[in-house]
Structures are given as C-alpha cells and as structure tokens.
Amino acid sequence: MVAISATDSQATGKTGIVTAKDLSGKLAILADAAKYDASCASSGSRRESRGGLGSTEGMGICHSYTPDGRCVSLLKILLTNYCVFDCQYCVNRISSDTPRARFSVNEVVRLTMDFYRRNYIEGLFLSSGIIQSSDYTMEQMLDVARTLRERESFRGYIHLKTIPGASDDLIHQAGTYADRLSVNIELPTEADLKRLAPEKKRPELEQSMNQIKVKRDEHVRDQKAGFKHAGKFVPAGQSTQMIVGATDTSDRQILDTSSHLYQTHAMRRVYYSAFSPIPHADSRLPGKSPPLVREHRLYQADWLIRFYGFDAAELTTAESANLDLQMDPKLAWALRHRDRFPVDVNLAEREMLLRVPGIGSRGVKRILQTRRHHQIRDEDLAAMGIVYKKARPFLITADRNAGPLSLDSPSLQRQFRPPQRQLHLFDDDPSADDGTSSRLEVLP
C-alpha cells in the first residue's frame, strides 16, 4: 500500500505512484475507475476499434435516460482517480495503491467531442476523486461542462457528479450546464459513514442535495411564470447512489433513507450498488459482495415506493428487516397481509389493485378501462398483461370466487418459492448465490 498526498503536482504525475501519461492510458484507468459508480449502468460497447484512439472496448460507455425518456450512450469517466479522502470501500481512496491518472479539462473536452463526432456517445458522465479541495475539483468539472457548452456548442447530455463540500455557487453554476447532477449519499446511515468514510458528513451531502432542489424549484417556477431569463437548471433532475452490503445495515434502514431522499430532495433516482471487495481492504469490510439479488430486490422495493403507493416501512417488518431474497417484495407483502385479499377485480379501488401480485400499473389501467364496459372474467386477465398464475389466488373475477380459503392454505407461500435443487459436491457456498437466475424477474 502506497500512501500518496494528492497535491496538484502529484496529480500531474511528477511524483507519486504509477501514473498514465498518454491519453489512451489515462482513458483505460479513468473509465475503469468510473465503473464503480452505478448512477448510470456501464454497459461496454462492442464497436470495433481498428487501432488508434476511439475504441470503446472496456472504456466505460454507459447508458442513461434523458428527461423525455430517450436512452443515450454516455462516455463515463473520472476526471482523476487521485483522491485526498480515504473512504474505506473505494479503490481510489488515498491509501490505495491503484494506478493513478488525471485528465486535463481540455483532454476530457477533446475525448467527448471526438467520441461524439464518431457517433460513439451522445453525452458525458463525469465524476472525480477530490484533488486539493472540494471547490478546486468542482471548478475543474464545471470548466469541462462550460467549455463543452460554450466553446464547443455541445448540445449532448451531461451528467456531473458533484463533489462533497463544494460551494453552493459552484453547484449552481454546474446545474446551468448539466442535464443531471448527482450527489452520492454513499452509505445508508450516518453511523455507516462515520465508520467507513469519516471525511464525508451526511448533513453536508444533504445540503448539496437541498441546494440543487431549491434552485431547480426556482427555475421551474420562473419558467412556468414565463420569465425569459429562467434558462435551464438540471432538467433531468438529481440522483444519488447508495452502496449496499458494505455494512450490516438492513434493507429496512436503506429503504427508509431512500424514502427520505425522494421526499425531501425530490430525488429522481436512488441507485443501489452492491459492495464489491477491493484489494487491501480494511478489515471492517466484508470479504465478499452481497448476493446481487439483494440489489435487485431493493430496486423492486424502490419501484413500489415510487409508483405503487407503498410506504417503505410496509415492505419489511421489525422482525425481518431485510427483503425476502426468494420472492419479490410485493408478493411477500401480500402473503403477510392475506386478510386484505381476495379483492374483486370488478370493484376494487385502483390503489388496492396496484397491490395485487401479478398486476402492474399498465394492467391496472386496462382493468379500469375494461370494467367500464363489461364485467371482467378470468379469461380476460391474460389478455390484459396480468401474470395470471401469480394474481389468481388474490383475485375475485365475475366467474370465479375462490374465497379466502385458498389464501389460508399453508402451501400458498411454498407455491411461489423457487424450486429447491439438489446440491452437488462441488457447488459453491449456496449462501453466496448471486441470484442471477431471478435477476430478470420484474414486478408486477
């Protein structure tokens, strides 16, 4: 482990540990370092390189969504992976011996424009380690966005990660150039931060989030009032990322924090990123990642909170504070509340239909439209995009009323669990199952 002091001179590669000096070398290091940020999912483009600069193989092309729902490819890089902070879960922390690199502002601008002209990307996702100070780093990132917009007339998508502790003025300026800003909450509780990232303070992070919300509200208000000077301010809103499984904090607390962020700071998205072990890690960190299915369940629960009217506290219980890895959180909730079912598909309110396993928001819409004209029968359900097998025990239709008896059956829960399989001698530890078999499972 080599300790570095990330002063500016070291960050330019004059001293310190292994550094990359040529542009493609820097790109390899700084695109790879950016992959740990889940705020836009890195997907690795497969364009052929044919030599020279511009290959997207392994160079962090990710996808994101614009405010109008278009999917865009972004160049996802760090300005630098030098950092004066020592967050224990991060490969770029000051005490890490990872190879370092730093782009100049003009290099990031050049790369973005080159990739853009070659049609590889439609925008930029830029994050950074902290060099010298929060404001110094934020100014550099702001400079990238300003140069792209003003000098290069770049109209593509820009997502900037704000630097913890950067001044309000810099964040405000960044918001006038970027489509999206994000401030990473990093860990679900203040105690987790204190333990693993003591230089980061929850109030400071939330102050930056609040600053973005207040400014965005002001701009939206001015635009609605027809003020011509209003301009744009982060039209795609703000997002954040939370690392899951670096501490033993429960899903209940994680969802509680997410709810708070959505409600208080009008967060557009909270991204969950399963902790991945890093070399020479602190002994307080777990030696392996949590099962990926946990991340998946959190996304499902998050979806239920945002679009299905669930309260975060409903999705777990005090006794069982983690989401069930074997079944989706909506089904798990329904099985815990069998007294609320079956519901009559021809009479139930929209809010209750949204809680029926197997029925998504589109299915609910179709039910509401159809029942205006005729009574819904069992055979109609499949045509409405409803997962019949899942919804059946929880519904009454015009031609079927199973009554509460089927819901009382002790076998109901078993019926929804994935089948048990025989373990083989050389199977990995089953508790380490990454759950990929169920990762494609989606709500309803």
Residues that bind ligand SF4 (CB under 6 A): 83, 85, 87, 90, 92-93, 129-130, 197
Query: Toward ligand SF4, which CB reaches closer, 200 or 265?
Result: 200
Q: Which residue in 208, 198, 327, 311 sits closest to 260, CA to CA?
A: 311
Question: Given the complex with ligand SF4, which of 178 and 193 has the nearer CB atom?
Answer: 193
Alpha helices by DSSP H, 231-291: 251-265
> In whole angstroms, what is the distance from residue 147 CA to residue 137 CA?
15
With respect to ligand SF4, which residue has the nearer C-beta, 197 or 304?
197
Nearer to ligand SF4, 42 or 438 (CB): 42
Cis peptide before 279 (omega within 30 of 0): no
Cβ burial 59-81 (10 Å sphere, 16+ → b, else e): bbbbbbebeeeeebbbbbbbbbb
Q: Which amino acid is at 192?
A: D
CB of residue 88 to ligand SF4, shortest distance in Å: 9
Q: How far is the CB of 388 from ligand SF4 (least distance, A)?
A: 46
Q: What is the CA radius of gyration of the chain?
A: 24
CA 45/CA 280 separation, integer angstroms: 30
Q: Which segments within 233-376 are labelled E, that is strand?
A: 238-244, 269-274, 343-344
Q: How far apart are CA 376 and CA 369, in angstroms?
A: 11
If the CB atoms of residues 174 and 304 are measured against ligand SF4, the closer one turns out to be 174
Taking the complex as a whole, how short is the minimal distance between the CB of residue 92 and ligand SF4, in angstroms?
4
- Give the distance from CA 127 to its chain's centroid: 15
Please identify, using beta-carbon distances, which residue of 74 and 130 lies nearer to ligand SF4: 130
Backbone angles phi, psi at 370, to 5 degrees: -65, -40
Q: How far is the CB of 35 from ligand SF4 (least distance, A)?
A: 13
Taking the C-alpha atoms of residue 124 and residue 238, their distance in angstroms, rounded to an integer, is: 15
Tell the smallest beta-carbon distance from residue 93 to ligand SF4 (Å): 4
Cβ 165 to ligand SF4, closest distance in Å?
10
Cα distance between residue 116 and residue 124, in whole Å: 9
Give me the least distance between CB of 131 and ligand SF4, in Å please: 10
Q: Which is nearer to ligand SF4, 278 or 292 (CB)?
A: 278
Q: What count of other Cβ atoms lies within 10 Å of the Cβ of residue 316?
A: 24
Pair 193, 247: CB distance under 8 Å: no
Burial of 169 (0-12, 13-18, 19+ CB in 10 A): exposed
- Tell me the closest approach of the beta carbon of residue 8 to ligand SF4, in angstroms: 16
Q: Which is nearer to ligand SF4, 124 or 130 (CB)?
A: 130
User: In the complex, what is the shortest distance from the CB of residue 178 to ligand SF4, in angstroms, rounded to a whole number?
Assistant: 18
Whichever of 39 and 259 has its CB closer to ligand SF4, that residue is 39
Q: Pairing between strand 71-78 and 61-65? A: antiparallel
Write down the least CB distance from residue 86 to ligand SF4, Å. 6
Residue with smaller CB distance to ligand SF4, 164 or 444: 164
Strand partners, 240: 270
Burial (CB < 10 A; 0-12, 13-18, 19+), residue 424, is exposed
Cα separation values, 384 from 109, 172, 328, Å: 49, 46, 21
Cβ proximity to ligand SF4, 93 vs 216, nearer residue: 93
Beta bridge partners, 63, equal: 73
- What tokens does 43 get? 């997907």
- Rounded CA-CA distance 216/67 in Å is 14
To ligand SF4, the closest distance from the beta carbon of 85 in angstroms equals: 4
